[in-house]
Chain A
Amino acid sequence: MTKSRLTQFAVAALTVVAMVIGFGMGSFPASAKEKIKVGFIGPLSGGTSSNGLGGRNSADLAVRLRNADPKAKYSYELLVQDDECKPNIGVQAATKFGANKNVIAAATHYCSAVAISTVDVYHKFGLPIIVWGAVLPDITYGNTYKEVHRVNGTMINQNETAAKFMRGLGYKTWAIIHDTTDYGKGHDKYFTKNLEANGGKILSRFGVTSDQQDFSAELTKIKSMNPDVLYFGGLTPIGIRIRAQMEKLGVKAQFQGTSGIVSDTFIEGAGPLAEGVVAFREGAPTEKLPGGKFFLEQYAKQGYKDPPEAYGAFAFTAMSLILDTIEAVGPDRKKVRKALNKVSGSNAADSITGKVDFDDHGQNTIAVITKYVVQDSKWTVWEDSAYAAGKRKLKGM
């Protein structure tokens, strides 16, 4: 009896001591600033880990810069989870953050398949998030969740830019070849919509399988209609075949691709025929972004081991926006969610990637899309190319 009493007493005493010490330690920084937790999820291992690590570092950079700012009301701690670019792991990571009420908001996901499967989790737990890299439209447009936002563009924005740009060059008529996967069909749908809204005309449209070899029948038909531009919504392998076969059949149209062909493989495969091909992609080379120089400088100062990669700047923007919002409305999920949803129109936020203006679905409508043209066997940003300077001409110009 006495022995166990003694033990109980000892335990109680120790607990009190521990609590006193604990509070003491805890209250020391709290006396300066309240510590707020924010989250980051991305693929930190596996095939796309370079993008995930770059995103993680960029989000970390946003937190470090904020903590170094004497005017900040709170002090922030970044919690990091690895989604491995796998939907099931991503859902676990999302649930961890969702269930941890101390996490006020998070910047999440590079992989579309992961992002689309986690949006329900965020909605269920009421955790406001900003997607920093995944491009599938349905992540924002497939639901009405107020928790879900995205700072980077989608194939919708890509095709909007593509249609406006090509119309702006003076092209009038198009033929479309797209593969029949979700990717190709999505491109066909959004390009058609935007092109028609901009007064372009589509003469014919062909769906093809993503492993088709021979396009002579489709291209002969297209040739007889003589469009100004051949729009291709699909990936590199059949993009190469179509470009090569256009030449053999004497199709004179300008070749316009999507993000799916912006790869060195396309140029290797198409050889000299790649010259003058135009394509569009979400995001931009970081140094081309409005605040790209500032971002890269700060990033270099921190001495991270991995480069920021293409989407690092967007992770930085997402995290900065979260921190700005917490600063403004306080560390409360509901308030942060509401405030994020109001980031639109005249209330649009400035960021290193340009303005952030969310629509009803939390999608940034001022998305960065970069126009590319192949010049001397390199994908060159349009504005820097000899084509934009007028030294070379696209077909039919």
Chain B
Amino acid sequence: MDIGLFAQYVMNGLMLGMMYALVAVGFTLFFGVMDIINFSHGDVLMVGAFGGLATYLGLTFLGVENPWVQLAAAFAVATSAMALMGALIGKFLVLPLKKAPPLNTLLITLMLGTVLRETIRLFYPRGANPQRFPSLLPTDAYSFGNFTLRVDNMMLLAAGLLAIIGIHLLINRTKLGLAIRAVAQDEDTAKTMGINFTLIVLVTFAIGSGLAAFAGILHGLYYSEVNFGMGLLLGVIGFSSAIVGGLGNIYGAIIGGFLFAALQTLGVLAMPFASAYKDVFAFGVIILIMAWRPTGLISEKISERV
């Protein structure tokens, strides 16, 4: 394989991995603070992407044509709307079920995901069809043999990595992050230390869901297309990535995301005759890794299962 082709595969894998990692980080945040699996996460991402698209369409309608303004507005509206929705999900669907068996939370978020999906399908204008997402970034491309370097892809990758670094700094370098980590580690002790448990949970849900909206817009910009079903598989892949990395650990989620993308790319490369099975291959390897490391590649520092 020549260098250009290899570089192209690496670039594809990085883009895909960045997207998965962003979703996986959300799963891990929710699990960290509340020990719950939020299965509506992928669909929140999808709603975020549609929110960004609607903002863009609205601005175009109002005559605002500057792509940078449109982009900034799309990000701002979508992330804040989804952050609010995340907080509402936390307050009205997750916190009330705190004492209930975890299965109930899992079910209720699963059902919420279906509601979100069907809402977009039925109520967004022609929502059952794939929607074209505008190219708001510069589309200059440089070709090096088989490798096409696009300016917009580089910017998306950079934005994704910045978001991940930002979350990392937020969790590890701020007082809010300290509080989130405290709640994640021991709820009761955190409470006795004067941490407002409910507030921290809601803020965490807002951060995770806002991150999903961010990822949704990156997804739309990268693929130039959004559709009502895009969150479903992304959710499953993000969840698997979080699990295989070690649920509750942000680095684990990131590693898991990139690992999954690498496996999918490898699946097509290694078995071109059976490319339809690339997901089967990727999930199969994930199953093997989980059998080998049940608590994930990076297990929690303080395992609650012991």
User: Contact between B272 and A211 (Cβ–Cβ < 8 Å)?
Assistant: no
* Number of interchain pairs (Cβ within 8 Å): 91
Cβ of A240 under 8 Å from chain B: yes
Interface size classification for chain A: 20 to 34
Tell me the A87-101 residues at the B interface (CB within 8 Å).
none
Tell me the A267-319 residues at the B interface (CB within 8 Å).
268-271
Q: Tell which of B15, B130, B223 touches A265, judged by Cβ atoms closer than 8 Å.
A: B130
For B131, the closest partner residue in chain A by CB is A269
User: Contact between B272 and A248 (Cβ–Cβ < 8 Å)?
Assistant: no
Contact flags A209-242 to B (C-beta < 8 A → 1, else 0):
1010110111011011000000000001100110
A244/B146 contact (C-beta < 8 A), A204-B272, A217-B265, A221-B269 known: no
* Residues in B neighbouring A244, C-beta threshold 8 A: 223-225
Cβ of A394 under 8 Å from chain B: no
Cβ of A207 under 8 Å from chain B: yes
Q: Tell which of A217, A236, A268 touches B132, judged by Cβ atoms closer than 8 Å.
A: A268
List A residues at the B interface (Cβ < 8 Å). 180, 204, 206-209, 211, 213-214, 216-218, 220-221, 223-224, 236-237, 240-241, 244-245, 247-250, 265, 268-271
Cβ of B185 under 8 Å from chain A: no
Which of B54-62, B171-179, B186-194, B226-234 lines the interface with chain A? Answer: B226-234
Q: Tell which of B129, B146, B272 touches A269, judged by Cβ atoms closer than 8 Å.
A: B129
Q: Tell which of B146, B265, B276 touches A207, judged by Cβ atoms closer than 8 Å.
A: B276
How far apart sit A224 and B268, CA to CA, in the bound complex (Å)?
14
Additional A-B contacts beyond A180-B276, A249-B8, A250-B143 (15; CB < 8 A): A206-B275, A214-B12, A214-B264, A216-B265, A217-B275, A220-B8, A221-B269, A224-B5, A241-B130, A241-B223, A244-B225, A265-B129, A265-B130, A268-B126, A271-B224
User: Contact between A250 and B148 (Cβ–Cβ < 8 Å)?
Assistant: yes
A271/B5 contact (C-beta < 8 A), A218-B275, A248-B153 known: no
How far apart sit A268 and B225, CA to CA, in the bound complex (Å)?
11
A249/B148 contact (C-beta < 8 A), A224-B5, A241-B130, A241-B225 known: yes
* Binding site secondary structure of chain A: helix
User: Contact between A206 and B227 (Cβ–Cβ < 8 Å)?
Assistant: no
A216/B15 contact (C-beta < 8 A), A221-B268, A240-B130, A249-B8 known: yes
Q: Interface size (B, Cβ < 8 Å)?
A: 38
Tell me the B156-177 residues at the A interface (CB within 8 Å).
none
How far apart sit A265 and B230, CA to CA, in the bound complex (Å)?
17
Cβ of B150 under 8 Å from chain A: yes
How far apart sit A236 and B9, CA to CA, in the bound complex (Å)?
26
User: Contact between A237 and B146 (Cβ–Cβ < 8 Å)?
Assistant: no
Contact flags B1-32 to A (C-beta < 8 A → 1, else 0):
01001001100100110000000000000000
CB distance from B140 to the nearest CB of A (A): 12
Cβ of B154 under 8 Å from chain A: no
Q: Tell which of A180, A213, A247 touches B233, judged by Cβ atoms closer than 8 Å.
A: A213
Tell me the B115-132 residues at the A interface (CB within 8 Å).
126, 129-132
CB distance from B114 to the nearest CB of A (A): 16
Cβ of B41 under 8 Å from chain A: no
User: Contact between B276 and A208 (Cβ–Cβ < 8 Å)?
Assistant: yes
For B19, the closest partner residue in chain A by CB is A214
How far apart sit A213 and B224, CA to CA, in the bound complex (Å)?
11
Cβ of B64 under 8 Å from chain A: no
Contact flags B213-225 to A (C-beta < 8 A → 1, else 0):
0000000001111
User: Contact between A223 and B132 (Cβ–Cβ < 8 Å)?
Assistant: no
